[in-house]
Amino acid sequence: MDELRALSGLVVVLCGPSGAGKSTLVARLRERLPLHFSVSYTTRPMRRGEEDGRDYYFVAPEQFDEMVAQGEFLEHATVHTNSYGTHRRQVESMAEGGSVVVLDIDVQGAAQVRATGADILFIFILPPSVAELERRLRSRATDSEKVIAGRLAVARSEMAQAGLFDYVVVNDDLDVAASDLDAILRAERLRRGAPLTVQRLGLT
């Protein structure tokens, strides 16, 4: 994997088991903060309520493989039998101009992004319990019983990697989790901007 070009914005990798509430939290965050969402490419079928180009770019496996061959992905992985990938140039152009860019990707993808050594923030979203995760996957009512069982089986091994992340946010009460994320992003932007602020004020 090539490194991302030097970025002026804050790129955030958001990870956590399917059903933990990542999409819900991103939607909440967008109400509070101007942020860009990296729209991944996937070979999985579109779910009810989803939109091509907004939730994902839904592509055929052949097109996905061609994009892999052309090196278009910052990272890509097979998750729950389908392929998913983050478009490198899309992230680069969104990060230009100092924006916050959120990547909702799985732990394999996060490991690939981490290995680039780029200055990226890694946040893990945990459900309050596995039982609650199961309840949320069922209440979302978008997946078959077989798919839900598969997602739960993978969830435990994914959650075991939470310790590798810069921050872990437990999504129990949605308002609290959204506030925690908001606080983390605000603090990280201030931290990263600190040298520039000091320079601007002529203090160096």
Q: Which residues of this chain interact with ligand ADP, rule CB under 6 A?
A: 16, 18-24, 136, 139-140, 171, 174
Q: 143 or 188, CB closer to ligand ADP?
A: 143
**Residue 136 interacting partner from ligand ADP, ligand 5GP, none (CB closer than 5 to 8 Å by kind):** ligand ADP
Residue 86, beta-bridge partner list:
75
**Residue 161 interacting partner from ligand 5GP, ligand ADP, none (CB closer than 5 to 8 Å by kind):** none
As a whole number of angstroms, the distance between CA 85 and CA 78 comes to 9
Q: 4 or 17, CB closer to ligand ADP?
A: 17
171 binds ligand 5GP (CB under 6 A): no
43 binds ligand 5GP (CB under 6 A): no
In the range 51-80, which residues lie near ligand 5GP by CB under 6 A? 75, 77, 79-80
CA distances from 101 to 65, 151, 171, 197 (A): 25, 26, 20, 21
Rg (CA), the chain: 17
Q: 7 or 83, CB closer to ligand ADP?
A: 83
84 binds ligand 5GP (CB under 6 A): yes
18 binds ligand 5GP (CB under 6 A): yes
Instruction: Out of 108, 116, 161, 179, point to the residue binding ligand 5GP (CB under 6 A).
Output: 108
**Residue 79 interacting partner from ligand 5GP, ligand ADP, none (CB closer than 5 to 8 Å by kind):** ligand 5GP
Residues that bind ligand 5GP (CB under 6 A): 18, 40, 44, 75, 77, 79-80, 84-86, 104-106, 108-109
